[in-house]
Amino acid sequence: MTEHKNSKSIQNQIDQIRWFHEFDFGGGLKAVSREPDVEDHRRIWQFIEQQIDKVDLHGKTVLDVGCFDGYFSFLSERRGARSVLATDDFSQNWSDSSGLRLARELLKSSVEINDHLSIYDISSLKRTFDVIFCFGVYYHLLDPFYALAQLRQVCHEDSVVLLEGDIWVGEQKPLVKYQLGQSTHPTFLPTRQTLESLLNAAFFRVESVVYRRPINPLKNSIKHLLGRECKERALISVRPFHGLNSAHEYPPPFGLPRYLSS
């Protein structure tokens, strides 16, 4: 653990920030989230970390899209990543990047920060990465397919992309619940089949889907019949591909034609 001088004043500085993620900076210094749903978020963070542990990050380049306070960016650095770029668009958040930047300072981190980069503009980086994180993002998006197309353009042929978010589990057939103007963010809630179809259309091949909790089709069907929302958090691991794509009768949009090949 890192020792810090003037711990009281530093802790006061930490406490002035509205944290989403939580950190133990060592020397008794801690950042604690006071969000009302923090207990559920803690379980989600644990779930994500368990899935990250299955990925070899040593010596890899990592892009963390929608990083917020950067918890998984700093985790990647600790796991041996060669370089990490933490990005977010704080014009779309209820907070700002002060937590992210203070965490980097206190952790003596070398994580690179871009706090004014929307997922819709990720291709402007003109870089590719070995591992890409996109946690808790897609279900907030106005245009999730365009965002996936952007992610595809920062991949090389051996990249792995980890996405995490809500999946509708109340129906087996492909469908999507899509609401605008009902909350702070748009709500895009796809079934697994719908999400996999969108990923395929963006030239991603799904390798695995892991749910945070076991799926019980009968229980979910009953919930659905009673009009209750049936969703579960899932982490989806995908890899990019080149080739023919049955999702597109005509050349695809958003820079994707470059991935077509016979």
Give 129's contacts (C-beta < 8 A, 6+ positions apart): 61, 62, 63, 85, 154, 155, 156, 159
29 part of a folded domain: no
Q: How many helices (H) and strands (E) does the chain have?
A: 7, 11
Q: Between these two residues, 173 and 51, which has the higher pLDDT value? A: 51
User: At 184, which CATH number?
Assistant: 3.40.50.150
244 part of a folded domain: yes
Domain carrying residue 234: 37-259
Mean pLDDT, the chain, whole residue set: 90
Q: Report residue 76's pLDDT band, with 50, 70 and 90 as the boundaries.
A: very high
Residue 111 has pLDDT above 80, yes or no: yes
Residue 232 has pLDDT above 60, yes or no: yes
The whole-angstrom separation of Cα 102 and Cα 4 is 13
Residue 226 has pLDDT above 60, yes or no: no
Distances (CA, A) of 220 to 181, 225, 230: 26, 9, 6
3-state helix, strand, coil in the chain (%, to 5): 35, 25, 40
Number of domains in the chain: 1
42 part of a folded domain: yes
Model's pTM, two decimal places? 0.91
Of the listed ranges 13-22, 163-172, 223-232, the one predicted with least confidence:
223-232
Average pLDDT over residues 88-104: 89
